[in-house]
Amino acid sequence: MNEIMINIDSKADYTNQYNSNNLSNKLSNYIYEECKGKPINNKVLIIVKATYDISEEEKKDLINKIHNNYKNDLDEHLLMIKYLNIKNVAIFLLGVLFLYLYYFIKINFVLSETILIVGWVAIWEAVYNWLFERDKNKIKIKRLKKLSICDIKFE
């Protein structure tokens, strides 16, 4: 189990200064950064140490803010991946089109070689994203899922 310790001195420490319904960006970033380097399949336990008398209502509010924050981050990341996949398919097809054009357009040596290079670069970009960037995105999605359902304990 991955444990993350949080010290809170007041409600302002975990509340976003622009929207009191959201988690503070500093706290959100801190929690996510604390997960890095730890096994992604382990459950996450957040231990909150409040130096002030925190009410049951504030505890529930903090728990909801943490869970909702990472659910929103997860939804946003999944949306970005969806559009990235569409873009990669389009780039790949564009690369194939350029390679196809290369074999039929022999007007000018420089123009035909440029078309060949653009085609291969487009295909490589799509394949690179599929082979390497996909793993990074999977790890981030797993972390965000774990954080969106993490256990939170108060001491």
Q: Per-domain residue ranges for the chain?
A: 2-154
Give, for 153, the enclosing helix (H) or strand (E): strand 151-154
Place of tokens 């490589």: 124
CB burial of residue 20 (10 Å; 0-12, 13-18, 19+): exposed
Place 52 in a pLDDT band, splitting at 50, 70 and 90.
Answer: confident
Residue 69's alpha-carbon distances to 48, 112, 149, in angstroms, are 16, 51, 11
The one-letter amino acid code at 67 reads H
pLDDT at residue 84, as a whole number = 92
**Averaged pLDDT score across all residues of the chain:** 89
Has residue 79 got a pLDDT over 80?
Answer: yes
CA 55/CA 140 separation, integer angstroms: 33
pLDDT at residue 114, as a whole number = 87
**Global confidence as pTM:** 0.79
Mean pLDDT of 36-64: 87
pLDDT at residue 128, as a whole number = 93
pLDDT for 7-41, tens place per residue? 888 888 888 888 888 888 898 999 999 888 888 88
Has residue 106 got a pLDDT over 80?
Answer: no
**Local structure of 130: helix, strand or coil:** helix
CB atoms within 10 A of CB 46: 20
Q: Which two tokens stand for residue 79?
A: 């949306």
Q: Give strand pairing partners of 45.
A: 3, 151
